[in-house]
Structure 1
Amino acid sequence: MGLLNAWDFQIPIGGIRFFGFNLFLVNQPAAVRRLMVEQVEQFPKHPFTLWVLQPLIGRAIFSVNGTEWERQRRLVDQAFQVAQLQRVFPQMEAATHDLIARLDPLADGRTVGIDAEMTLVAADVIVRTILSRPLAGPEAAVIFEDFSRYQRRAGQAVMLRLLRLPQSLLNRYLATHARRIRVWIRQAIEARLSGSAPGQAASSQDLLQALLEARDPLTGSSFSLEELVDQVCFLFLAGHETSASALAMAVYLLSQVPEAQGRLRQEVTAALAGQNGPLGFEALRQLPYGAALFNETLRLYPPVSFFMREAQLTTNLLDQRCPVGSLLTISPWVIQRHEQHWSDPNSFRPERFLADQASTEERRMAREAFLPFGLGPRKCPGAAFALQEALLVLAELVRRYEILPDPGHSPELVARLTLRSVNGVRVKLRRL
C-alpha cells in the first residue's frame, strides 16, 4: 500500500520496473475480467501468492491451478451449499452468544479493542462450524499469536523475495511459524477420524464432516488426510482472518456514522417482530440494509486488498505491452475506491448496494468493480458464509449496544495477508 499514490486511483492501468520485475496495476473492469474470468489459465495466480502460503496451507484450493484446482473446487463447493449454511447456523449463534457475554461487562462507555473481539468471535465461528467445538482461553491466545506471527513474516518474506533472496530459505523460515498451527489442526482431524474428538455427537452438522463426505462427481475420489489438513488450514486462515478484518471495520464505521447504526437497529427490530430471542436463520434474510452496509464496508476496506497474477505469455493489456512473467496486480483497495468507477468513492454510503436506492451506474459498478471475494471461477466459495456471519454479529451488537467512537483514535491500516490496523480498532460500547 505504501507504493500507491493518488494517480493510481485514476488510471486504467499502470506499469513500472521494480527490482527487475515488470509490475502492473490493472484497474479497468474489462481488463480485470479478462485476467480473472475470461483467460484464467493464461493468467494464473502468481508464484509469490502460492509459495508464501504453502508452508501453512500446503496444496489447498487457494494454492493450486489447473485440474488439481478444478477437482478441489468440486469437493469444497459441496461443503458450502446453502443447505449447509443453515446446518451450521446454530454454531454461529453459539459463538455470537459468547461474544455478547464477553462484551456485556465492558458496555459501560469504556474503550473496547473491537478488532481483538472480532478476531476471537470469527475464529470461534470457524472452529465451531468446522470442528463442532468452541475456541477460547489459552488455546485461542496461542493460535491467534501463531497466525498473527505468520501474517507478519509472510509480508516480510514477499518483500525479501522481491529483493531476490532464495525462495527455499524463505520457505524454511515460514515453515517454522506454520508448524504449530498445522499440528493443531491435524490432531483435531485425526481425533475426528478415530471417533475420539470432543463434540463428536454433533459433528454430523459441521463443515469437516461435509468435507469428509464430499465425493468428486467426475472421479468418485475424496480428500485424503493430508488434503483435509491443507483445506482446513486454509479455511481457518481465510474464514477467520478475512471476517475479523471486515467485522472490525464495520463496527468502526457504525461508531462513526450514527445514522447508519440507527437504521440497522430499526431493521433488526422489525425483523425480530417483537420477539426478545436471538435472530433466527430466516430473520437474517430480512436485513437488506445490513447486507448493503456490510458490502459497503467490504468496498472501502477489502480484507484481501491485492490479488497477484502472472502473465504466461507476452501480451497487451489495453495500450501496454505485458512481457511474459509479468506480475499483474488487481487491487480491490484501488478498484473499489477508483475515481472512474464510483461517485464519491471515499465516502461511506451503503445505499449504493440497495436495489431500490442505487443509481443505474452504481448497480453496474457493483457488478463490474466490486470484487472483495474475487471474480470468476476462483471467486471465494465462502462469500455467503461470511455474509451470514457478519449479519448475525452486527445485528446482535446494534440491538444491545450504542456503538460510539473513541475520540482521537483512527485505525492505521496495513495490507498483510489481510487488511489489519497496526494500532488496533477501538470503539466505546454503551448498553441500551
Structure 2
Amino acid sequence: MVDNYPEEPLQPPWPKPKPYTSNIFRRLARGWKSWFGLLNEWDFRVSLGELNLLGKRVFLVNDPLLVRKVLVDEVDLFPKHPYTLWILEPLIGRAIFSVNGEEWAIQRRLIDQAFQVANLKKAFPAMTAATSSLLHRLEMNGVDSFVDIDKEMTMVAADVIIRTILSRPIEGDEATDIFKAFSRYQRHAGRALVLRFLRLPKSLIQLSLKDDAKVIRNWIQAFIHERLEQNKVDERNPLEKIDFLDTLIMAEDPKTKKKFSEQDLVDQVCFLFLAGHETSASSLGIAAWLLARSPEVQKQMRVEVMSVVCDRPIHSMLRFDELRQLPYSEAVFNEALRLYPPVSFFIRDRDKKDGELATSEGRRRCPVGSLLTLSPWVIQRHDKYWPEPHQFKPERFLKNSSSLQRNAFLPFGMGPRKCPGASFAKQEALLVLAELVRRYELLPVTDQDPDFVGLLTVRSQNGIRLRLRELEHKT
C-alpha cells in the first residue's frame, strides 16, 4: 500500500451550529426539523454545557472522562432516559435499545447468545448476496451514470439485514412502502423530543408515530408468525442452516430460563431492522460521498483492495478473511463515522440520587431528573480532542496514530450498552465500499451537496447524488 496521503485533507460541508441564543423557544424552533438546530457554537468548545429547558436541567456532556463515567463506570446511575422509550415504543416496543435494569439484562443475554450462534462468518453469505444485487442494479444504469447513492445504500442495508434475519431478500415494491414509512417515522420522532420538552403528554406524542410504526410492525410480525407456525410442524435438525430469527427463537436466558415470546420477537426484530438498516444506510451513503469528494483517498483505498484480490476476475467478490486485510479501508469508514455518526446523540437520566458532574473546567450539581445528552456529533468534532476536527483524514485511524482520542470516538456507544452489532456493521460496510471502489470511480455532483439533518439518524433530506464511472477490469 502506498502511504501518499493528501497534502490538503478535505473539509466536507456540514450543518454548522447556530449562534448562541438565550431564547429557549427560538432554540426549540431551530431544532424542529433537525436536532442540530438546538446546538450553539459554544457547544463544540466546552467540556460540559448546562441549560435550564423549561424547568428541566439538561447537560451536554463532552468531556471524554465524564462520557466514560456515564456510559461505563457508573452506568447504573445513568439509565436510558424515558424519552427514548416514548419516542421509539410505537415501533420497537420494549426492545433492548430503550429499556433498563433487569429487563435490559435478560434481553442482552438473549441477544448476545443469538449473536454467538449467528456469527459474522455465517452472516457473510447474506452480505455478499445483497451486495451482488446492489452491483447488478448499478450495472443496469450504464457505464457512466448518476445515482442517488443514499437510496441505493438504503436498499442494500435493508437487504443485508432482512437476508440475515429472515433468509429472504427484500423486494422492490415492499421496500418502497417500508422505506417511506421509516422516513415518515424519522421526521415525526425527531419532532417528538421537542414536543416533550414543551410538556405535551406521552399519548399525544406517540399518536403521530403509530400509523407508520404499524406498517413496519405488521410487515415484520407476518414473517415471525409464519416462522413460528412453521416450526411447530417442521422437524428439521436445529443445527442445520439457520438464520438470525432462528437463533432468537431458540435463545434461552441461562439465569431465568426466559425465552422471547412472539411479541418480544417482533420488538427485537423491529429494533434490529431499525438499527441494522437505518444506521448502515446513513454511514454507507456518507462514506461513498466522502470518497467521491476525495480522489486521493479513493485511489489509495482502491490500491489496497486490488492488492488483496490480485488478478481475480471481477465477478469473484472479496472473501470473508480478506476483509481483515483492508486497514486503510477500515480507517476510511471509521473517519466517515467520526464526521457523520449515524446516531448523533444519546440521552441518559439521573434517576437515583443527586450527584455532581466534574470536569477540568469545574463541577456542576446534577440533581435527580436531570437529562444528560452525550453527542458523538459534538464530541467527534470537538477541537479539544481531535486535531483538525472537521477535515476528512482517514489516516488518523491507522495503527500508531496518536490523534485517536480514548473515549472520544463512540459511533456505537461504549460500555455494557454498546451496540452489539458494531462488528456486523463494519463488516458490511467494508464489503460494500470495497466492491464499489473496485468497480467504479466515484465522482461528486458538484451542484448538489447533501442537506444533512439530525433525526433518529443522520440523513440527507435531498439524497446523495454521485456519478459512477465504470472502471476497466477483467471479467
TM-score range, shorter chain: over 0.9
1:124 corresponds to: 159
1:21 corresponds to: 56
1:315 to 333, 352, 355: 355
**Contact 2:157–2:280, Cα closer than 8 Å, also in 1:** yes
2:218 to 176, 179, 183: 183
Once residues 370 and 447 of structure 2 are traced to their aligned partners in structure 1, the CA distance between those partners, rounded to angstroms, is 42
Q: How many Å apart are 1:196 and its aligned residue?
A: 8.6
**Contact 2:117–2:247, Cα closer than 8 Å, also in 1:** no
1:234 aligns with 2:234: no
Deviations 1:184-212 (A, max 9, x none): 11110111112299xx9999331111111
Secondary structure at the counterpart of residue 204 of structure 1: coil
**Contact 2:118–2:247, Cα closer than 8 Å, also in 1:** no
Q: How many Å apart are 1:165 and its aligned residue?
A: 1.2
**Contact 2:118–2:243, Cα closer than 8 Å, also in 1:** no
1:374 to 413, 437, 442: 413
Once residues 256 and 81 of structure 2 are traced to their aligned partners in structure 1, the CA distance between those partners, rounded to angstroms, is 28
1:172 corresponds to: 207
Q: Which amino acid aligns with 2:304?
A: E
1:325 to 369, 372, 397: 369
1:133 aligns with 2:168: yes
1:335 aligns with 2:379: yes
1:416 to 428, 447, 455: 455
Deviations 1:206-230 (A, max 9, x none): 1111111212122222211111110
Secondary structure at the counterpart of residue 80 of structure 2: coil
Once residues 274 and 346 of structure 1 are traced to their aligned partners in structure 2, the CA distance between those partners, rounded to angstroms, is 37
Once residues 172 and 5 of structure 1 are traced to their aligned partners in structure 2, the CA distance between those partners, rounded to angstroms, is 31
Once residues 40 and 283 of structure 1 are traced to their aligned partners in structure 2, the CA distance between those partners, rounded to angstroms, is 37
**Contact 1:107–1:428, Cα closer than 8 Å, also in 2:** no
Once residues 142 and 370 of structure 2 are traced to their aligned partners in structure 1, the CA distance between those partners, rounded to angstroms, is 51
Q: Which amino acid aligns with 2:380?
A: Q
2:393 to 349, 365, 388: 349
2:441 corresponds to: 402
**Contact 1:88–1:205, Cα closer than 8 Å, also in 2:** no
Once residues 256 and 405 of structure 1 are traced to their aligned partners in structure 2, the CA distance between those partners, rounded to angstroms, is 6
Deviations 1:326-365 (A, max 9, x none): 1110000000010110111111111111104x12xx24x0
Once residues 181 and 319 of structure 2 are traced to their aligned partners in structure 1, the CA distance between those partners, rounded to angstroms, is 34
Q: How many Å apart are 1:80 and its aligned residue?
A: 2.1
Q: How many Å apart are 1:427 and its aligned residue?
A: 0.8
1:296 corresponds to: 335
**TM (normalized to structure 1)?**
0.95
1:52 corresponds to: 87
1:30 aligns with 2:65: yes
Deviations 1:36-62 (A, max 9, x none): 111112111111111100011011101
Q: Which amino acid aligns with 1:339?
A: D
Ranges in structure 1 where 5+ consecutive residues have no aligned partner:
none
Greater helix share, structure number? 1
Deviations 1:111-156 (A, max 9, x none): 2110000000000100000000000211110111111111111112
Matches within 5 A, 1:51-90: 51-81=86-116, 84-90=119-125
**TM (normalized to structure 2)?**
0.87
1:2 corresponds to: 37
Distance 1:146 1:350, change over 3 A: same
Once residues 47 and 208 of structure 2 are traced to their aligned partners in structure 1, the CA distance between those partners, rounded to angstroms, is 37
1:247 corresponds to: 284
1:204 aligns with 2:241: yes
| Matched pairs, number | 425
**Contact 1:87–1:205, Cα closer than 8 Å, also in 2:** no
**Contact 1:56–1:233, Cα closer than 8 Å, also in 2:** yes
Secondary structure at the counterpart of residue 404 of structure 1: strand
Q: How many Å apart are 1:16 and its aligned residue?
A: 1.0
Q: Which amino acid aligns with 1:81?
A: Q
Secondary structure at the counterpart of residue 119 of structure 1: helix
Runs of 4+ in structure 1 deviating by more than 6 angstroms, as ranges, are 200-203
1:285 aligns with 2:324: yes
Deviations 1:293-340 (A, max 9, x none): 111110000000010011122211111112221111000000001011
**Contact 2:302–2:434, Cα closer than 8 Å, also in 1:** yes
Once residues 254 and 369 of structure 1 are traced to their aligned partners in structure 2, the CA distance between those partners, rounded to angstroms, is 24
**Contact 2:345–2:376, Cα closer than 8 Å, also in 1:** yes
Distance 1:196 1:401, change over 3 A: farther
Please provide the CA RMSD for this pair: 1.7
Q: How many Å apart are 1:97 and its aligned residue?
A: 0.4
Q: Which amino acid aligns with 1:149?
A: R
Distance 1:209 1:82, change over 3 A: closer
Q: Which amino acid aligns with 2:366?
A: C
Once residues 287 and 236 of structure 1 are traced to their aligned partners in structure 2, the CA distance between those partners, rounded to angstroms, is 27
Q: How many Å apart are 1:379 and its aligned residue?
A: 0.2
Secondary structure at the counterpart of residue 205 of structure 1: coil
Deviations 1:169-191 (A, max 9, x none): 22233222211211111110111
Q: Which amino acid aligns with 2:341?
A: P
1:12 corresponds to: 47
Secondary structure at the counterpart of residue 338 of structure 2: helix
1:156 aligns with 2:191: yes
**Contact 2:83–2:193, Cα closer than 8 Å, also in 1:** yes
Once residues 247 and 283 of structure 1 are traced to their aligned partners in structure 2, the CA distance between those partners, rounded to angstroms, is 19
2:19 corresponds to: none
**Contact 1:106–1:429, Cα closer than 8 Å, also in 2:** no
Once residues 424 and 136 of structure 1 are traced to their aligned partners in structure 2, the CA distance between those partners, rounded to angstroms, is 21
